[in-house]
Amino acid sequence: MTMDAHARKQAGARWLAFMRAGDWESAWRETDSMEADRRAGRVPRDDAHLYWDGTSPEGRSVLIRCEHGLGDTLQFLRFIPAIAHQAGELHFMVQPPFVPLLRGAPGLGQVHNGWLGPNWPAHEVELEVMELAYALRATTATVLPPYPHLAAQAQRLAPVALAHDGRPRVGLLWAASDWDTSRSIPWSCLEPLLALPRLRFFSLQQGRAADQAMASRLPIEPLHRHTAGVEAAASAMLQMDLVISIDGMPAHLAATLGRPTWLLLKHEADWRWMDGRSDSPWYPTMRIFRQPQPGDWEDLMRDVIEAAEQLRPKAQGLPAAGRAQSVLED
C-alpha cells in the first residue's frame, strides 16, 4: 500500500518539530521510517539518486553532492572528513563558488565542480551533503565542530589586510537574496546601530545592498570590491572582530571561520536554528537574535544595539591582521 500525501506531510511535520526542539534522535528515527517506506515502494520515488540508500561508506568509493544552498554546504562541511576517513575514495561535488576555496583542503577528498553535468566520477555510495548528519546520527550533544581549515585556505588564496584605527571592526550583512526577502532588514533599522561611535562598521554585502552602503552618509565602509569571491569574503571576515548577519551563507561562513557571529533571525526561522535559543549547537561562536513578532526588526535591532553597547575591547589590544581571534569581550 502506498503512503498517501497526507501521511507524508505529517511525517515531515514531525521531523521538523523534532529538529526544532533539538530532539535529533527522534528526527532520525522518523527519517528511518520514511526511508524504509521509500525502499519498500510505499512512497513515490521519482529519482532514486535523491536519497541515500543506507549503504555503508566503509572502504567504498563515495560521492557527496550538494543540491541545496551555499550555507547548507558550509554547515554540513564538518561531516566530510569523517566520511572521508571511512571511505576508500571520496568525491565531493560542490557548487562552483566553493571550488577554489575547498580544493586541496584537508579531509575533503577530491573536490569537483558539481555543476559540470552528468559525467560524475564512478562511485559505489552516493549521499547529498545534508544527509550526512543523519548518516552519522549526529545529536545536539555530539555534533562535530565546524570544519577547521577554511581560514588557512582563505588567507592563502585571497589575503585581505585592513588598517586598524583602534576601534573594534564589525562586518555587517543585512540583505538576503531575492528568493527570501523576508530575511532582509530595512536599511532604516540599521541607522541607530551604525551611529555607535566606538565600533567601526564594514559592509560585507554585494549587489544592490552594497550600493546602499556606498550611498549612505552613515559611517560604514564598503568592502564589496574586495569580497566578490567566497575566499575573499572569508579573508575579510577574518579581519573582523564581530560579524552581524541575517540568515544566509555569510553567517555560516563567519561562524565556520570561528568569528564571533550575531545571527539576526526572522520570526519563522529555519529549523536548523531550533526554537527559543540564543545559541546554536552548530556554531559555538554564534549568538542568535530573534524577531519577537513577524516582521518586527525594530525590537530585534534594539536588542542588538543594547548588546553592542556592552562590548569592550580586550585589554591586550588588537590582534595582528588576519588572526582568527576577537578583540571584543562582553
DSSP per-residue letters across 263-307 = EEE-SS--GGG-SS-SS-TT-TTEEEEE-SSTT-HHHHHHHHHHH
Mean pLDDT to the nearest integer, 92-114:
96
Taking each helix axis as running N to C, give the angle between helix 230-237 and helix 150-157, from 0 to 180 degrees, rounded to the nearest 10.
Answer: 110
The pLDDT of residue 322 is above 70: no
pLDDT 10s digits, 188-228: 999 999 999 999 999 999 888 778 877 778 889 999 888 88
pLDDT of 42 reads 67
Mean pLDDT to the nearest integer, 302-314:
89
For CA atoms 106, 68, 140, 170, the dihedral sign is positive
CA 215 to chain CA centroid, Å, is 29
Mean pLDDT to the nearest integer, 53-63:
92
Mean pLDDT to the nearest integer, 98-120:
92
For CA atoms 244, 205, 151, 96, the dihedral sign is positive
The pLDDT of residue 38 is above 70: yes
pLDDT of 116 reads 80
Range from 7-16, 22-31, 233-242 carrying the lowest mean pLDDT = 7-16
The pLDDT of residue 29 is above 90: yes
The CATH H-level superfamily of 152-329 is Glycogen Phosphorylase B; (3.40.50.2000)
Q: What is the pTM of this model?
A: 0.91
Mean pLDDT to the nearest integer, 174-178:
88
180: confidence class by pLDDT, cuts 50, 70, 90: confident
Residue with cell string 515502494 = 41
Domain boundaries along the sequence of the chain: 1-43, 47-144, 152-329
Beta strands in the chain (DSSP E): 61-65, 89-94, 110-113, 125-128, 169-173, 200-203, 220-222, 242-246, 261-265, 286-290, 312-313, 328-329
Mean pLDDT to the nearest integer, 52-77:
94
Share of the chain above pLDDT 90, in %: 70
45: confidence class by pLDDT, cuts 50, 70, 90: low
pLDDT of 49 reads 55
Mean pLDDT to the nearest integer, 112-137:
92
The pLDDT of residue 19 is above 60: yes
- What does the alpha-carbon distance between residue 2 and residue 225 come to, in Å, rounded to a whole number? 54
The pLDDT of residue 311 is above 70: yes
Range from 20-34, 47-61, 142-156, 250-264 carrying the lowest mean pLDDT = 47-61
Range from 1-5, 104-108, 128-132, 184-188 carrying the lowest mean pLDDT = 1-5
Beta strands in 156-279 (DSSP E): 169-173, 200-203, 220-222, 242-246, 261-265
Name the average pLDDT for the chain: 89
pLDDT 10s digits, 236-245: 999 999 999 9
pLDDT of 166 reads 86
pLDDT of 121 reads 92
